[in-house]
Amino acid sequence: GAVVSQHPSWVICKSGTSVKIECRSLDFQATTMFWYRQFPKQSLMLMATSNEGSKATYEQGVEKDKFLINHASLTLSTLTVTSAHPEDSSFYICSAPPRGRPQETQYFGPGTRLLVL
Amino acid sequence: AQSVTQPDIHITVSEGASLELRCNYSYGATPYLFWYVQSPGQGLQLLLKYFSGDTLVQGIKGFEAEFKRSQSSFNLRKPSVHWSDAAEYFCAVGPSSGSARQLTFGSGTQLTVLP
């Protein structure tokens, strides 16, 4: 089946630094990728929709200047958490529907756990 | 607003026993319903989905789910659990348009399987 990878899987950083998370579709192209955030024992919350060749669409309450999204190619989207603070510590998950397929067929990455000290 | 409730945070069953994970939803129109499984180090994997038609849906790995409109439920079942089924399970509801942007996930149920 289709595979989505994320890198890194685990990152620890100091408060105030920026962290970049990559999401790659390994065997298919994706014009759209989704970024989610998951707190412990809570559900996945959609943060933003990454669109290849155009600006990302952010959900209400998500700071676009803090969570920078770049959809560099049809197989890569990056999420940069700028000036990270401890409250940004969370599990970040990306997903992607194959190009031309319905969005409900999205494939999920394994997630990136971010800890900000 | 749409919402999904998974009442059981954690369930423990013995290998070979039957399993039922509960999911209740609130949605103003005809919902699309999904069950995903998340194993450590792996992404969420779609087990099954309900769009319309037969209210009993068959999925992968021997799972099935039944849509009950009158009860606003979409419970996941498996007749005989295997140790490899230990994972976290998420129910999700979305619009009939299939937009992933409008999916709402439950908070998950952690399944432990005893030998």
Percent over 90 (pLDDT), chain B = 74
Are B105 and B23 contacting, i.e. CB atoms less than 8 angstroms apart?
A: no
Contact between B43 and A34 using a beta-carbon 8 Å cutoff: no
pLDDT at A105 over 80: no
Looking at residue B31, the DSSP 8-state letter turns out to be P
pLDDT-based confidence at residue A99 (cuts at 50, 70, 90): confident
- pLDDT(B72) > 90: yes
Residues A73 and A41: their CA atoms lie apart, in Å, by: 33
Most confident of B11-15, B25-29, B39-43: B11-15
The distance of B103 to chain A (nearest Cα, Å) reads 8
Residue of A nearest to B8 (CA): A41
Query: Which residue of chain A has the CA closest to B88?
Result: A41
At residue B13 the predicted structure's pLDDT band, cuts being 50, 70 and 90, is: very high
3-class DSSP assignment, residue B95: coil
Instruction: Please say whether the beta carbons of B96 and B32 come within 8 A.
Output: yes
Mean pLDDT of the residues in chain B: 91
Q: What is the mean pLDDT of residues A84-107?
A: 88
Q: pLDDT tens across B78-113, in order?
A: 999 999 999 999 999 987 666 666 788 999 999 999
CB atoms B98 and A4 under 8 Å: no
B52 vs A65, higher pLDDT: A65
Structure tokens that stand for B76 in this block: 């996941």
Map residue B61 onto helix, strand or coil: helix
**C-beta neighbour count of B73 within 10 angstroms:** 17
Taking only the tens place, the pLDDT of each residue in B15-25 is 999 999 999 99
The answer to whether B76 and B11 have CB atoms below 8 angstroms apart is no
- How far is Cα of residue A11 from the mean position of the Cα atoms in its chain? 14
**Does any CB of chain B come closer than 8 Å to the CB of residue A18?**
no
Indicate the Cα dihedral angle B107, B110, B111, B115, nearest 10°: 180
DSSP symbol at B42 = S
B residues 94-113 closer than 8 Å to A (CB): 94, 98-101, 103-108
Return the pLDDT at B101: 67
A8-23 pLDDT tens trace: 999 999 999 999 999 9
Structure token digits, residue A101: 């397929």
Cβ-nearest to B42 among A46, A106, A110: A110
Residue A2 has a pLDDT of 75
Closest CA of chain A from B30, distance in Å: 15
The predicted pLDDT at position B82 comes to 97
CB contact under 8 A, A104 and B100: yes
DSSP H or E stretch at residue B104? strand B104-105
Q: Are A68 and A76 in contact (CB under 8 A)?
A: no
**pLDDT(A90) > 90:** yes
For B9, counting Cβ atoms within 10 Å of its Cβ (0-12 exposed, 13-18 middle, 19+ buried), the class is exposed
Tokens 């933003």, located at residue: A48
- Over residues A36-73, the pLDDT tens digits come to 999 887 889 999 999 988 899 999 999 999 999 999 89
CA closest to A57 among chain B residues? B101
Q: Do A111 and B104 lie within an 8 Å CB cutoff?
A: no
